[in-house]
């Protein structure tokens, strides 16, 4: 089979589309013929050696795959060749075939699009976990979403509305703000005067929950417009700047800064993770959430696609197809 291969940490353009040995499922594993692999911001960091995890080389990036089971390993029950599944593979998704533990596979609803399924895993999974378990988002809360036209941002906007929040989307351009409004945001603003605008929109109350995958100056602004008992969710640092937190503000304003590491949570609390995915798939089947797929690109274009994602040039979800 063919796969995107990272031989050494380095520039994205060094990724190669090349022939590799077909993987084989071990005990408790399934082999999936890839229909689509989701593209995520951490994939690019992983290739450059900038992520929290540094795998042995060579490796294929790609955390999520949707496709049809080709074969199953010993001891696998409830899944069989021909079943379509969504799989959290951690690595190896940018390939024509991928191996995944059966326990980390979810059966797909009949006819579900593979790219949309991938979006539900990491992008929607991260936002769902962040708002539900980490942010304890409640109906009526003011939710501010940074990067609201990206894959996780759109997910946070949609999920926030499902959970009954009043959503303020923050995006860098008018085009992106329009996308956020189309996906359910109550308001859409830019980054220029965040504190004043959030305070004005909330009648001085501030944000009960902030979803922040951006960091940098956006995080700095959020530290100053949080409501009392608010939860500032740290998702990532797409701006490239890890901010320094003035901890005295948390004391004086009585809010919490909460880290969100979806991948770690899925391994630490697999039952809660599976329950979240069941809920997300139910919302999808009822039309309550709907991933925005910007495009489906040939897997050979992985380097250019990752470059755009890391440069915050993408809107919605991007998928790679063999």
Domain range enclosing 232? 127-263
7 lies in the same domain as 71: yes
Q: The domain that contains 167 carries what CATH number?
A: 3.40.50.720
239 lies in the same domain as 161: yes
What does each of the 322 residues of the chain score in pLDDT, given as a tens digit?
A: 999 999 999 999 999 999 999 999 999 999 999 999 999 888 999 999 988 888 999 999 999 999 999 999 999 999 999 999 999 998 999 999 999 999 999 999 888 999 999 999 989 999 999 999 999 999 999 999 999 999 999 999 999 999 999 999 999 999 999 999 999 999 999 999 999 999 999 999 999 999 999 999 999 999 999 999 999 999 999 888 999 999 999 999 999 999 999 989 999 999 999 999 999 999 999 999 999 998 999 999 999 999 988 887 778 889 999 9
d(CA 102, CA 87): 8
d(CA 273, CA 238): 25
Helical axes 151-162 vs 174-182, angle rounded to 10°: 40
Q: The domain that contains 14 carries what CATH number?
A: 3.90.180.10
- Tokens describing residue 90: 């951690």
156 lies in the same domain as 251: yes
Query: Is 137 inside any structural domain?
Result: yes
**Could you give the count of Cα atoms lying within 13 Å of 210 in the half-sphere of its Cβ?**
32
19 lies in the same domain as 145: no
Instruction: Count up the domains in the chain and report the number.
Output: 2
**In a 3-state reduction of DSSP, which class is residue 38?**
strand
Yes or no: say if 47 and 12 are a contact pair by the CB < 8 Å rule: yes
The DSSP string of 246-314 is -HHHHHHHT-EEEE--HHHHHHH-HHHHHHHHHHHHHHHHTTS----EEEEEEGGGHHHHHHHHHTT--
55 lies in the same domain as 143: no
Query: Is 114 inside any structural domain?
Result: no
Yes or no: say if 319 and 117 are a contact pair by the CB < 8 Å rule: no
39 lies in the same domain as 68: yes
Helices (H), 85-150: 114-121, 123-129
132 lies in the same domain as 13: no
Strand segments (E) across the chain: 2-5, 16-19, 29-38, 64-72, 84-88, 97-101, 105-107, 142-146, 166-170, 187-189, 207-212, 226-234, 256-259, 293-298, 317-321
- Tokens describing residue 309: 């994602």
d(CA 251, CA 123): 32
């Amino acid at each position: 089979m063919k796969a995107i291969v990272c031989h050494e940490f380095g520039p994205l353009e060094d990724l190669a589309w090349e022939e590799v040995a077909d993987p084989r499922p071990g005990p408790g594993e399934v082999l999936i013929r890839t229909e689509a692999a989701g593209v995520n911001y951490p994939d690019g960091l992983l290739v450059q050696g900038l992520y929290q995890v540094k795998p042995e080389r060579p490796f294929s990036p790609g955390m999520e795959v949707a496709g049809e089971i080709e074969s199953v390993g010993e001891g696998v029950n409830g899944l069989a060749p021909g079943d379509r599944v969504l799989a959290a593979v951690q690595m190896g998704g940018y390939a024509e075939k991928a191996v995944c533990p059966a326990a980390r596979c979810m059966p797909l609803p009949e006819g579900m699009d593979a790219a949309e399924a991938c979006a539900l895993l990491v992008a929607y999974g991260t936002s769902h976990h962040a708002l539900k378990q980490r942010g304890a988002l409640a109906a009526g809360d003011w939710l501010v979403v940074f990067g609201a036209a990206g894959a996780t941002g759109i997910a946070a906007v949609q999920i926030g509305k499902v959970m009954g929040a009043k959503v303020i989307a923050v995006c860098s351009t008018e085009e992106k703000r329009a996308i956020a409004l189309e996906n359910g945001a109550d308001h859409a603003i830019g980054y220029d005067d965040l504190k004043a605008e959030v305070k004005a929109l909330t009648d001085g109350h501030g944000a009960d929950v902030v979803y922040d995958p951006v960091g940098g100056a956006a995080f700095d602004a959020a530290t100053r417009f949080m409501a009392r008992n608010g939860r500032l969710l740290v998702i990532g640092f797409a701006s490239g700047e890890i901010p320094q937190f003035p901890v005295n503000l948390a004391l004086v304003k009585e809010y919490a800064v909460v880290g969100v590491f979806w991948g770690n949570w899925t391994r630490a609390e697999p039952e809660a993770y599976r329950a979240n995915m069941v809920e997300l798939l139910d919302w999808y089947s009822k039309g309550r959430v709907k991933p925005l797929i910007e495009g489906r690109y040939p897997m050979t274009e992985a380097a250019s696609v990752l470059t755009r994602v890391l440069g915050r040039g993408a809107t919605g979800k991007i998928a790679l197809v063999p």
